[in-house]
Amino acid sequence: MKLVIRDARLSFPDLFEPVQYQNQGPFNYRATFLIPKASPMKKAVDAAIKQVAAEKWGAKADAILKAAIAGGKTCFTDGDSKDYNGYADNFALVATRSQDAGRPVVVDRSKHPIAASDGKIYSGCYVNGTVEIWPQDNAFGRAIRATLVNVQFVKDGESFGGATIATDDDLDDLGFDEDEDDLA
């Protein structure tokens, strides 16, 4: 089920180069969307998870979903259970995208592509994004997962890494100095 996430804080963005989880397994693109517990978006994610579980497991959905949540096998977890900057009072929606599926679309507010070198996307900025919520039922167990589709920068936020956002706002344009020695 496709779900559009609105105005979430971004955490652990691996949007431009795929990475391995704990240096093992396949390479994937990743993003974590932090959604306030009191927001309508949290209710929308909960509803999507319940719907895909019911479609997959029918009458057994509630029991399977309860076991998946207890076993940490869902893409949507209580941020208070994590010891990461910015996670308190939020739920964390983790979405991945296989390297084989190609890089997720990453754009600015005007839907222009963003490159990693632009520095516009970072942990702590606010974004919109699209994910597909789906039920996993295979040799690796039963779970609820999210596939990352796209991310749109919305606005700056305090960086979770503690670094100040790089800008040239504090610098003056000094122009060209004609007295400067030529190094050529």
Kind plus residue range of the DSSP H or E element containing 11:
strand 2-21
With tokens 């089920």, the residue in question is 1
Per-residue pLDDT of 96-140, as tens digits, reads 999 999 999 999 999 999 999 999 999 999 999 999 999 999 999
Q: Give the domains, in start order, of the chain with CATH numbers.
A: 2-155 (2.40.50.140)
Specify burial of residue 59 (Cβ count, 10 A radius: 0-12, 13-18, 19+). exposed
Amino acid identity for residue 25 in this structure: G
The low-confidence residues of the chain, meaning pLDDT below 50, are none
For CA atoms 98, 74, 57, 131, give the dihedral sign.
Answer: negative
Local structure of 123: helix, strand or coil: coil
pLDDT for res 163: 54
pLDDT for res 144: 98
pLDDT for res 171: 72
What pTM value is reported for the model?
Answer: 0.86
Backbone angles phi, psi at 173, to 5 degrees: -80, 110
pLDDT for res 164: 55
